[in-house]
Structure 1
Amino acid sequence: MQQTLFNVHDVVLFITVYQCLLFALFLWIFRVRKRGNTLLALFLLCHAAIPADTLILYGAAFQHWAIEVSPNLFFAFGHALWLEAPLLLLYVRTMVYRDYRPRWRDGWLFLPFLFYTLFMLLHYYRLDHASKIAILYGYDSFDDRTYSRYVNLLRELFRLACGVLAYSELWRYQQRIKDVYANIEKIDLTWLRILVLGFLAIRADKVFELFGLVLPVGWQYYIDFEFIGLAANYTVMLLISALIFFSLRFSTVVTGLPEPKPELEEKPVDKLVISPDEIQRLESHMREHKPHLNCLLNLDNLAGQLQWAPRHLSQVINRHYQQNFFDFINTYRIDECKRLLADPSHRGENMLEIMESAGFNSKATFNTFFKKKVGLTPSEYRQQQLASR
């Protein structure tokens, strides 16, 4: 990255800056999900600043330009490295939790940014112009002072930790989704998981690179720092492109869950008392009103019909029936399918019509769940029942 304007690696960084700025502007203008889009736009602005920081640090022509404009510009864009990981974490939380909004306790995520700003204020920004110029004309990132390397290593470890937290939020969402929804086929977090894992891999790569810099000099000959840096730049460009494509196309398929609140945790399962009247009321409601026939039914809907708290209904289902909400509702749907398949008056209906009449909206889920519960495919069950009649 020491070639004069412009080599192909510079162009990749420029493309990344352009993508981030353009998409951030788009999100700012068309704010459909205001909170989530604002966080995503801020994340993209940080990722526009990071390639700019790379160009200034590693591009000789850009270094001279930055020094001539303002010595403070040389390190200014590097502050974004402390912000993008917390912003991605908060964005993921807005995607997986309904009505999530950052709280004061989330402020700890931005403490490293404040500490770094203070560090730079004391060690660089407060210096006079001549001292800054002297430092910059002798600056070499591969011959940087030891304490700066450790600061950068701490930064990358922090970014890696935020990435791990973001992925853990996605994992918890996947674990809880069946406790709230009975139809989950259209809820797909694959694209967001890939993006989080992609940025996580880049940060792990950067941690490895910085560990190499603080190791004894002999070890550094075995690490190709230029290749690692360039590979990360190209990967970021591809991930930003994927983020733009998938977030525009598939953001609507992410259905948020209620945010878990430790202060409102329910009673432990072994201490929960479920009265027979509650079980009878639930089963009577399912039998008489057949809410499971509604393919859009979820935990909140059913709890509202019973005038129960959603948390309480979830506990009743988990404790008494040893099932999650997904299995509980779809068991009733399978019973409805069995009734329809065994009824000669429905002989002319195909499997798709039977499935939809029972509340299923996915043929794959219908076939898989039916075979699991009955031991036969729907067609085999229909033939068996009609033959016995």
Structure 2
Amino acid sequence: MNILIHQLFLVLIYGGIVVGVFIVVLLNTRGVRKGRANFFLSVLLVALVFSVAHILFASQVINHLSAEVYTIGDPTFLLIAPLLWFYACEITGKPVKRSGWLMLHFLPFFVVIVLSLSLRSVNNADFLRALERFHRLIVVVFWVVVVVQFSVYQFWVQRRWRDYQNLIPREVSNTENVSIGWVRFFMGIFLCINLLFLFSLFAVIHLSLGEWLPRATAFVFALSILALSYKGILQREIFQYEEIKVNDVLTSASIAEKEKPDPARMQQLMTYMEHEKPYLDPELTLTTLAKAINITRSQLSQLINEGTGDNFYDFVNKYRVEQVKKLMADPAVKHFNMLGLAMEAGFKSKSTFNLIFKRFTGLTPTEYKKNLMP
């Protein structure tokens, strides 16, 4: 039984490495939609794969290459949190800006590498003896840095997800591609890795270290690779970041407080919605609608919020509900089932349609249709 468990353990770990490499190659293959989020997902998977490979093979390779390396801890652990943060930013439409400050996120990683390569090269017997004497303390400090760093980034990611959830109803008219389930899944991976690091810190302080801790770390990382590969390759950026100015979203509320909606623009918006019916497009966003009527996102957000009292999501879906009502009474589409009517009106799923229809009418679609019958 122990042999079987050990073999399954190895299969998962090596499987994580193989799947991670495969997904990285796939994400960077011609024909696959290139996106900044996919780039950071690729780099994150490379870091995790390298960490697993480092845990499995580093002791065998490094001992043959150099005797001067001082083992503080795996420096790649310090790459994971920043890369998770960058990926979270990109997937929620907040592009990571390229600047000199960007490298500060990786400063702990470089510091550990420099120390690992230089400490043993110091030609001082007293210093080397002190290194050996305080080795456990140095390792504890390393794990404290890892845990603190990861906890800080986890806080940032949670705050970013919260802002993202508030942004969704302002930007999209269908939420099927921006499900909160993915958010929870991502945060679950972040939390599991952080708990692993917390336990590793506890183990370094209170338990005798053996092969079990690195292997447990490799196992958790392999599972994280498999999870991120499966979910990440299916998830797309919520918004096209080139079209969005972050300040535009943040200042729309303050603009609305200072100005009242322009009646002429409000009439322009209503006329466009009634005649052009952009709500029939299930991919309609605040950005695309603003471009269509030639105003800014802030101005459109103000018109909708102040002029109707709704956010963008509710504003568009009210039109869709009214369109479904018209279709229910139209003999030309009486052969359509309820899902067909919903998709004709711009909805993307039956569950979302049922929920929204009842919220705005107080009846389920089936109940409403029965009331139409003579």
- Give the TM bin, normalised by the shorter chain: 0.7 to 0.9
> Using a 3 Å threshold, how does the CA distance of structure 1 residues 369 and 8 change in structure 2: closer, same or farther?
closer
Distance 1:85 1:47 in 2: 11
Matched, 1:286 2:273: yes
| Conserved? CA contact 1:24–1:44, under 8 Å | yes
| Conserved? CA contact 2:69–2:117, under 8 Å | no
Distance 1:213 1:321 in 2: 59
One-letter code of the match for 2:172?
Y
Distance 1:86 1:344 in 2: 57
Q: Offset of 1:285 from its aligned partner?
A: 2.0
Corresponding residue number in structure 1 for 2:298: 311
Corresponding residue number in structure 1 for 2:218: 233
| Conserved? CA contact 1:187–1:255, under 8 Å | no
Number of residues of Structure 1 aligned to a counterpart in Structure 2: 364
| Conserved? CA contact 1:367–1:377, under 8 Å | yes
Corresponding residue number in structure 1 for 2:85: 89
Corresponding residue number in structure 2 for 1:270: 257
Q: Offset of 1:307 from its aligned partner?
A: 0.6
Corresponding residue number in structure 1 for 2:145: 154
320, 324, 341: which is aligned to 1:354? 341
Q: Offset of 1:76 from its aligned partner?
A: 9.2
Corresponding residue number in structure 1 for 2:3: none
Corresponding residue number in structure 2 for 1:103: 98
Q: Offset of 1:73 from its aligned partner?
A: 5.1
One-letter code of the match for 1:123?
L
Matched, 1:181 2:172: yes
Corresponding residue number in structure 1 for 2:36: 35
Distance 1:279 1:72 in 2: 72
> Using a 3 Å threshold, how does the CA distance of structure 1 residues 229 and 378 change in structure 2: closer, same or farther?
same
One-letter code of the match for 2:190?
F
Work out which structure has the larger RCO, using CA pairs closer than 8 Å and 6 or more positions apart in sequence.
2
Q: Offset of 1:318 from its aligned partner?
A: 2.1
Distance 1:374 1:131 in 2: 81
Is the partner of 2:246 in helix, strand or coil? coil
Q: Offset of 1:267 from its aligned partner?
A: 5.5
Q: How does 1:14-29 map to 2 (within 5 A)?
A: 14-29=14-29
Q: Deviations over 1:211-268 (max 9, x none)?
A: 5645xxxxx26x99876655443222122122223333x1348555636238973351
| Conserved? CA contact 2:73–2:139, under 8 Å | no
270, 284, 295: which is aligned to 1:297? 284
Distance 2:232 2:160 in 1: 18
> Using a 3 Å threshold, how does the CA distance of structure 1 residues 339 and 225 change in structure 2: closer, same or farther?
farther
One-letter code of the match for 2:350?
K
128, 139, 157: which is aligned to 1:166? 157
Q: Deviations over 1:267-311 (max 9, x none)?
A: 514323222222222222222322222333221221112111122
Give the CA RMSD over aligned residues.
3.8
Q: How does 1:178-257 map to 2 (within 5 A)?
A: 178-188=169-179, 190-191=181-182, 193-211=184-202, 213-214=204-205, 220=206, 230-248=215-233, 250-252=234-236, 254-256=238-240
Corresponding residue number in structure 2 for 1:334: 321
Corresponding residue number in structure 2 for 1:68: 64
Distance 1:369 1:107 in 2: 45
Is the partner of 1:83 in helix, strand or coil? helix
Structure 1 runs not aligned, ≥5 long: 1-5, 215-219
> Using a 3 Å threshold, how does the CA distance of structure 1 residues 119 and 261 change in structure 2: closer, same or farther?
farther
Distance 2:28 2:250 in 1: 35
Q: Deviations over 1:91-135 (max 9, x none)?
A: 22222217x3432243331232344345446634x4259999989
Distance 2:15 2:340 in 1: 50
Q: Deviations over 1:136-174 (max 9, x none)?
A: 9x69xxx83424412321122102322332343334323
Distance 2:15 2:370 in 1: 61
| Conserved? CA contact 1:71–1:129, under 8 Å | no
| Conserved? CA contact 1:160–1:204, under 8 Å | no
| Conserved? CA contact 1:295–1:361, under 8 Å | yes
Q: Offset of 1:314 from its aligned partner?
A: 1.6
TM-score, scaled relative to structure 1:
0.77
Corresponding residue number in structure 1 for 2:372: 385
